[in-house]
Structure 1
Amino acid sequence: MHQANPQTLSDHEEDYMVKDTDPQLGQRWPNGAGRSWMNGERFTSTYDLVEQTFYLYVRVMKAKDLPPSSITGTCDPYVEVKLGNYKGRTKHFENRRNPEWNQVFAFSKDRVQATLLEVFVKDKEMVGRDDYLGRVVFDLNEVPSRVPPDSPLAPQWYRLEDRRGEGKVKGEIMLAVWMGTQADEAFSEAWHADAAFVQGEGVLSVRSKVYIAPKLWYLRVNVIEAQDIVPNDRSRAPEVFVKVQVGHQVLRTKICPTQTSNPLWNEDLIFVVAEPFEDQLILTVEDRVHPSKDDVLGKLTQPVNVFEKRLDYRLVHSRWFNLEKFGFGILEADRRKELKFSSRVHLRVCLEGAYHVLDESTMYMSDQRPTARQLWRPPVGILEIGISSAQGLLPMKITKDGRGTTDAYCVAKYGQKWIRTRTILDTFNPKWNEQYTWEVYDPCTVITLGVFDNCHLGGITEKQAVGTGTGGIRDSRIGKVRIRLSTLESHRVYTNSYPLLVLHPTGVKKMGELGLVVRFTSLSLSNMIYIYGRPLLPRMHYLHPFTVNQIDNLRYQAMNIVATRLGRAEPPLRKEVVEYMLDVDAHLWSMRRSKANFFRIMSLLSGTISVSRWLGDVCNWKNPITSVLVHMLFLILIWYPELILPTLFLYMFLIGLWNYRFRPRQPPQMDLKLSCGEAVHPDELDEEFDTFPTSRPHDVARMRYDRLRSVAGRIQTVVGDIAMQGERLQSLLSWRDPRATSLFILFCLCAAVILYVMPFRVVALTGGLYMLRHPRFRSKLPSVPSNFFKRLPARMDSLL
């Protein structure tokens, strides 16, 4: 295994911290935008969060009137673009004198040592040397510059020259040559000189791409009742239930407790479907004849796209559907009998917005909008991420000669938009210098970035992955970073290097560092403040809540759908990448995570314990001055009880102002100590990386072990939720979320003034009557304080 030994936090504590960096960010120069690229001038560009990288772009469009071969009488043309020692080739066409390629080549300025660009047109021969048809030569000092947002440079026709450049030959080629940066639209589709050896399908996998995840919907099937159910064996009363299948998802109702031909269930079955709706709803009414045998009594098939989309809380009308008799005779008499008498099922089916189900369980929500675009509100901010580089990556593959290598790319996910940088080949210090932008509709969300090793470059037979056990078939994970947007100050540029930590069966490893530049821009302060009082999830989530089992099942199905759809893109975003980005195994039992959640609770309780100890010291007069002051304050509050609440809020206001000096200066990070990952017992790691169900021997032990893991996983989640509530309370005055803390301390100041002016009896009477108000005056939606509290950040973001 070509990886470093696990490092402990005590040995290299600074290596696991977020570090400040000082990259040379893109600059803007107002004049001289068309100056020579060879002079090293910078372009006016929106890429101001990364180092601008300059490229020579060559777009080969087409050719015409190419001469045929004197031997074969045909022409199989292709184009070779040569710049110094770098060569790029287009595909060749057979027997075509007017070919069209439309391919783009990009050559990095840092690797160019020539001053001439040569474009050759050649005729491919099956045997021997390819024929030379002509060339076009460009002087790099005379190549024009393109400055976005200018339109792309128009290609031009050029006459082909002979080898010596002394005369013209037959044929012309259409080209566009210009100087640009990575902000150019051609950057993502271009052939890059540093990926010249990649062949076949691997060419697509090295390019940068933007993916849009499918829109997810809940399909809610309310199975109400059925009529005229006829069992196959009429001598017995039927035990009827309904089975519904949508794609690969199968759910069943309970068996109707009343054995009758008109069963009643009134159960909700929830599925996840994605646009465009390609699945069908297949419903069967079945009779439990034997514990191992079910008879199908009727069947219904409907495409998903025929059902109504529910955008609000209004109830969808139910419908009766005729059931097709399963296995009914094919004779015409049987068909006429079926039309005269048919069983029916009563359903209420609708589609509801469901995109938030993808992140809800892990508390790393990246999108809280309803799926229906009609319900979206204007964005409140803009998130810009500059993915600059990585440093010190470990070798993830070994070549035949025993040399370690890594072909790294980065993936970022926020909302429905996923991005993938281009793959930088064979380097442990890749530089991407790519910048991406997202619209933010809620600042209390998380963006996730992951770094992976590309194992699909077309030459996998010569390279094998190490340390993953995948044999090179799956892209290896190098590390992940999560950033909660609410912890970022508006309009500030964060330049940091994040450690990439991965938990392996042998322990925690630092795989390198990822350099990021982050900027969050607030568009409207009023809208931002308004967001903090709105419900966290769409309205339907509160009016028709799901059970815990339903949420777990829906989340699993949603992840499968997103992984399948993104895996069908070109190039595919592979399943192992999507699963790692979505924390597909976060719900499984882990002794390490359970200990981490326990220590989080103990950390919260330590504050209460400290206060009780301080109070004990006051009572014991260990510090007489402090005890006298506390007694005086106690007598004043007893004599003037109306000062209790104003004093409390004023105290919190002053504490919040005092903590402003110590507010966090950097976004949250993966914390090894918080995650209990610096010293994990090998047996605990073996349990965490064990499959589910377990692969350990003995059937009885397997059954008990799986049951224990399932129950413990629930307890782990509950313990984590308890810890999260306390951490949110703690974050009110910690300035972890600067906007939330500002709002809260302003509220404390106003409350202190109002409570000082208003008599305490009035406050107590008003508060008591409000708490005891009639249910008619209560709303099913959460209150503004509840919504504000649920949006506060917790340390869940920093768990590994």
Structure 2
Amino acid sequence: MRVCLEGGYHVLDESTMYISDQRPTAKQLWKQPVGILEVGILGAQGLLPMKMKDGRGSTDAYCVAKYGQKWVRTRTIMETFNPRWNEQYTWEVYDPCTVITLGVFDNSHLGGNSGGGSNAGRDARIGKVRIRLSTLEAHRTYTHSYPLLVLHPHALKKMGELQLAIRFTTLSLANMIYIYGQPLLPKMHYLHPFTVNQVDNLRYQAMNIVARRLGRAEPPLRKEVVEYMLDVDSHMWSMRRSKANFFRIMSLVSGMVAIGQWFGSVCYWKNPITSVLVHILFLILVWYPELILPTLCFYMFLVGLWNYRYRPRYPPHMDTKLSWAESVNPDELDEEFDTFPTCRPHDVVRMRYDRLRSVAGRIQTVVGDIATQGERFESLLGWRDPRATSLFIVFCVCAAVVLYATPFRVVALVGGLYYLRHPRFRSKLPSVPSSFFKRLTARTDSLL
């Protein structure tokens, strides 16, 4: 039997969305570091009591930081809601587009703790902070307090604040710029890529190996701490996360919708001055087409300069509105914290299943509409409707002859002026191309 250990891969123990290390396993393939990350864990303030000790609330807090393969842990400050650690740690940075994760926990293994309940003997999570290094300006020290937010089965709670001092120092600006053009993962991931199931299985095994290794350290990091830092449950179903991702997509689409609405107002002359200016710009670009790309690039340059004044002053942190955690339904939270397989009563599971079916039905309808539009486009040349395909290919021949004989400037000028025409020359009925496209056949009639 021959065993081959391929060191050209990077086995992930965390999600690629907030990965902290992209280097291959083999040290011989490591590049030189591009910077130094210095983190000062100053302290925390306003922590909530995590357990009862001698008849009163108490918290024995410590902080854990993880970046790359290096994990660090502060000392435990006993019986205080405002611990001061004042400890500093340093990491070598090989890629600026990475994330450092810091978590605060309550030590339940010191003293005569009497937490009780199902979490007795487990270090309770107080909160977590993620900071992406690419959001840090080089050679600048950030001193800021970050809220520690934790989702509980009943509500979102602010458990306190973590005070940090962070500085990212670049060693070579040229290497930093060069990194931005390189692949995210080592080249073996692209030459012989893993399947999705293999990546998930390797990540689960890597997490267990890391948990066992850190459990033997002094002082030990327990498995629940490692799981919380690595977000091992991020793949589980959550209605809250689904809503958050949906509204993320909607926020992206809203920008394009706003541009479309603005252009529609230009076409319908709701603001005559703006419509006249757009007409003048259009005529200039048609007459001098070589100015189209420079104008577009210069416009993006001006937008970037304008947005510079709105840049974040401190590195972004957990956003409760983005996470849809402030107005989440209590039953949806209970579903998110449910075990797998479920341990809830049958009537609750049936209600959640029916709700999931309704959500999946809407998604099914949207996916079906997208497939219908794609199949209509495909049927233009697919002869599913012989008459429609005949009309389209005849139109293509005529358009080819006209476009060959007519200068491009004339075609662009006529098409643009027709699209920007005044509302009195418009009809409220759909256009001929739109009506023709909607009459094309799709495969929906073949579905059972």
What TM-score, normalized by structure 2, do the two folds share? 0.76
- Residue 441 of structure 2 corresponds to none
Distance 1:654 1:551, change over 3 A: same
**Structure in which a larger fraction of residues adopt strand:** 1
**What is the CA deviation profile of residues 75-112 of structure 1, one whole-angstrom value per residue up to 9, with x for unaligned ones?**
xxxxxxxxxxxxxxxxxxxxxxxxxxxxxxxxxxxxxx
Residue type at the aligned position of 2:18 = Y
| Equivalent in the alignment of 1:536 | 184
Q: Secondary structure at the match of 2:273?
A: helix
Provide the C-alpha distance between the structure 2 equivalents of 1:309 and 1:563, rounded to a whole number of angstroms: 22
Helix, strand or coil at the partner of 1:514: strand
Please give the alpha-carbon distance, in whole angstroms, between the structure 2 residues aligned to 1:615 and 1:642: 23
**Aligned partner letter, 1:420:** R
Q: Any idea what SS the aligned residue of 1:434 has?
A: strand
> Which residue in 1 is equivalent to 2:91?
438
- Counterparts of 1:700 and 1:398, CA distance in 2: 33
Once the two structures are TM-superposed, the CA of residue 623 in structure 1 deviates from its matched residue by 1.6
* 1:353 paired to 2:6: no
1:471, CA displacement in angstroms? Answer: 4.2
Distance 2:206 2:199 in 1: 10
Q: CA deviation at 1:378?
A: 0.4
The alpha carbon displacement at 1:646 in A equals: 1.1
1:600 aligns with 2:245: no
1:490 and 2:138 equivalent? yes
Q: Give the deviation of 1:697 after TM superposition.
A: 3.9
* 1:699 CA displacement: 12
CA distance in 2, matches of 1:618, 1:471: 62
Alignment of 1:223-234 (within 5 A): none
Q: Contact between 2:35 and 2:94, CA under 8 Å: does it hold in 1?
A: yes
SS state at 1:672 partner = coil
The structural deviation recorded for 1:701 is 5.9
The answer for the alignment partner of 1:35 in structure 2 is: none
Pick from 61, 77, 94: which aligns with 1:408?
Answer: 61
Establish whether residue 383 from structure 1 lines up as the match of residue 37 from structure 2.
Answer: yes
CA distance in 1 between counterparts of 2:99 and 2:119 reads 33
Letter aligned with residue 262 of structure 2: W
Any residues of structure 2 matched to 1:20-419 within 5 Å, and which?
A: 307-311=3-7, 353-355=9-11, 357-361=12-16, 363-400=17-54, 402-419=55-72
2:106 maps to what in 1? 453
Residue among 656, 663, 668 paired with 2:316: 668
Give the whole-Å Cα distance in 1 for the aligned partners of 2:139 and 2:106: 33
Any unmatched runs of 5+ in structure 1?
1-301, 312-351, 720-759, 761-800
- Aligned 8 A contact 1:407 1:427 in 2: yes
**Residue type of the alignment partner of 2:9:** G
CA distance in structure 1 between the aligned counterparts of 2:69 and 2:285, rounded to whole angstroms: 54
Asked if structure 2 preserves the Cα contact closer than 8 Å seen for 1:592 and 1:677, the reply is yes
**Alpha-carbon separation, structure 2, partners of 1:376 and 1:612:** 47
Aligned to 1:587: 235
- Alignment deviations for residues 509-563 of structure 1 (CA, whole Å, 9 cap, x no partner): 0000000000000000000000001110011101111222222222112111111
Q: How is 1:612-631 mapped onto 2 (pairs within 5 angstroms)? A: 612-631=260-279
Cα distance in 1, alignment partners of residues 198 and 353 from structure 2? 23
> Larger relative contact order (C-alpha < 8 A, sep ≥ 6)?
2
The alignment partner of 1:482 has SS state of strand
Identity of aligned residues (%): 77
User: Partner residue of 1:509?
Assistant: 157
**1:426 matches 2:122:** no
Q: Secondary structure at the match of 1:353?
A: coil
User: What is the count of residue pairs matched by the alignment?
Assistant: 361
2:125: which partner in 1?
Answer: 477
SS at match of 1:666: coil
The one-letter code sitting in structure 2 at the alignment partner of 1:536 is L
Answer whether contact 1:499 1:510 (CA < 8 A) is retained.
yes
Aligned to 1:680, which of 328, 334, 358?
328
CA-to-aligned-CA distance 1:678-713 (integer Å, 9 cap, x gap) = 1111110111011011113459968x959x79x98x
Q: Are the counterparts in 2 of residues 694 and 705 from structure 1 also a CA contact under 8 Å? A: no
Measure, in 1, the Cα distance between the counterparts of 2:119 and 2:242: 32
- Contact 1:451/1:477 (<8 A) preserved: yes
2:191 and 2:210 mapped to 1: Cα distance?
Answer: 26
Query: Once the two structures are superposed, what CA deviation does each residue of 1:449-491 show, in whole Å capped at 9, x if it has no partner?
Result: 000000011423xx316xxx43421000000000000000000
| 1:694-713 correspondence runs (5 A) | 694-698=342-346
Match of 1:689 in 2: 337
Partner residue in 2 for 1:249: none
* TM-score, reference length from structure 1: 0.43
Give the letter for the 2:10 counterpart. A
- Residue 464 in 1 paired to residue 118 in 2? no
Aligned partners of 1:393 and 1:512 also within 8 Å: yes
Q: Does 1:655 align with 2:310?
A: no
State whether residues 9 and 189 of structure 2, in contact with CA within 8 Å, keep that contact through their aligned partners in structure 1. Answer: no
Q: Distance in 1 between matches of 2:144 and 2:161?
A: 10
Query: Which one of 163, 171, 175 corresponds to residue 527 of structure 1?
Result: 175
SS at match of 2:102: strand
Matched, 1:640 2:317: no
Amino acid at match of 2:40: G
Report Cα offsets for 1:636-655 as digits up to 9, x if no partner. 11112121111101111121
Distance 1:310 1:586 in 2: 28
Q: 1:548 matched to which residue of 2?
A: 196
Structure 2, unpaired ranges of 5+: 368-407, 409-448
